[in-house]
Structure 1
Amino acid sequence: MSIQTNLERLAHQEIQERNLINHYLPFRQQRNKPAEYDFDAIAGDVLSSALRIKLKQGYSLESFVERARAAVSSKLSDDSINDFIDQMYFDGSGKSGLFKVSPEFLLFKANSAEAGASKHVCRLFRSFLATRQKEIPLLMNEVNFLEAELLSELQENLTSHAPDSTEVPYLPFLAEFFSKDLNFLCQHPSYLLQNTRAFLGLYNFLYSAQLALNINAWDSTPETKPLYFILDTERASVERKQVRESYPWLKEKVADLFPILSMLEYFNQIQEKNAPRYPLWRFVEHIKNASSEEQLVGVKAMQEFAKNYCAKRGVDIPDQLPHSEASMVKFLTASAREIFSKRGSSQFTVNSRVVNAFENEVAQHFVQSRGRSGRVLILNQDYLLLLTNLAVGEREQLQFQQLLEAFKNRGIWFDRQSEQALINFYERVGNVERMSDSGDAVYVRKTL
Structure 2
Amino acid sequence: MDGLIHEMYFSGEVPGLYKVSPEFLLFKESVADGSTNKHVSQLFKNFVAESGRTFSKLSSEVNFLELELISELQDDLEAYRPVSLESPYLPFLSGLFVEDLQFLSGHPNYLLDNIRSFFGLYVFLYSAQLALNINEWESEPKSKPLYFILDTEKASLERKDVRKAFLWLKDKVADLFPVLSMLEYLNQPQNKKAVKYPLWQFLSYIESLSEVERGNVQRSMEIFCEKYRDKRSLPKHGEYPSDIVSMIRVLTGTAKEIFSRRGTSQFTVNSKFVNAFENEIAQHFIQARGRSGRVLVISQDYLLLLANLAVGAREKIQFQELLAEFRKRGIWFDRQSEQAIIKFLERIGNVERMSDSGDAVYVRKTL
Answer whether TM exceeds 0.5 for this pair.
yes
| Cα-to-partner distance string for 1:212-237 (whole Å, 9 max, x where unaligned) | 00100110101100000000000000
In the alignment, is residue 92 of structure 1 matched against residue 12 of structure 2?
A: yes
Who is 1:187 aligned against?
106
CA distance in 1, matches of 2:338, 2:142: 22
Moved more, 101-110 or 279-288: 101-110
Q: How far apart are the structure 1 equivalents of 2:12 and 2:264?
A: 48
Among 216, 221, 224, which residue is 2:135 paired with? 216
Distance 2:71 2:284 in 1: 38
RMSD: 1.2
Paired position in structure 2 for 1:235: 154
1:403 maps to 322
Aligned residue number for residue 82 of structure 2: 163
How big is each residue's C-alpha offset from its partner over 1:359-404, in whole Å with a ceiling of 9 and x where there is no partner?
0110000000000000000000100000000000011111011110
Amino acid at match of 2:169: L
Aligned residue number for residue 82 of structure 1? 2
Output the CA distance in 1 between the equivalents of 2:319 and 2:57: 29
**Distance between the aligned counterparts of 2:261 and 2:125, measured in 1?**
29
How many residues align? The count is 367
Match of 2:207 among 288, 295, 316: 288
What is the match of residue 364 of structure 1? 283
Equivalences for 1:68-147 in 2 at 5 Å? 81-92=1-12, 96-147=15-66
Distance 2:175 2:283 in 1: 20
**Distance of aligned partners of 1:398 and 1:138 in 2 relative to their CA distance in 1, 3 Å threshold:** farther
**Cα offset, 1:113, TM superposition:** 4.5
Q: Which runs of 5+ in 1 are unaligned?
A: 1-80
Match of 2:310 in 1: 391
Structure-2 residue corresponding to 1:420: 339
Instruction: Tell me if structure 2 keeps the 8 A contact 1:170–1:278.
Output: yes
Secondary structure class of the residue paired with 1:168: coil
Q: Which has the bigger relative contact order, CA under 8 A and spacing at least 6? A: 1
Aligned ranges 1:26-105 → 2 under 5 Å = 81-92=1-12, 96-105=15-24
Within 5 Å, which residues of 2 pair with 1:264-303?
A: 264-303=183-222
CA shift at 1:339, angstroms? 1.0
- The CA distance in 2 between the partners of 1:279 and 1:211, in whole Å, is 11
SS in 2 for 1:433: strand
- 8 Å CA contact 2:226, 2:237 repeated in 1: no
SS, match of residue 284 in structure 2? coil
Aligned residue identity for 1:394: A
The aligned residue for residue 300 of structure 2 is 381
1:316 to 211, 220, 235: 235
Which whole-Å deviations, capped at 9, do the CAs of 1:180-219 have from their partners, x for residues lacking one? 0000000000000000000000000000000000100110
Q: Indicate if the aligned counterparts of 1:302 and 1:328 stay in contact, CA closer than 8 A.
A: yes
How much has 1:297 moved relative to structure 2?
Answer: 1.5
What per-residue deviation string (whole Å, max 9, x for no partner) do you get for residues 237-265 of structure 1?
01100000000000000000111111111
In structure 2, what residue type is equivalent to 1:273? Answer: K
Q: 1:305 aligns with which of 219, 224, 233?
A: 224
Which residue number in structure 1 is paired with residue 270 of structure 2?
351
1:314 aligned counterpart, secondary structure: coil
Displacement of 1:129 in angstroms is 0.9
Counterpart in the other structure of 2:178? 259
Structure 2 gap ranges (5+): none
Q: Secondary structure at the match of 2:136?
A: coil
Whether the 8 Å contact between 1:244 and 1:373 is mirrored in structure 2 is yes
2:87 aligned partner, one-letter code: V
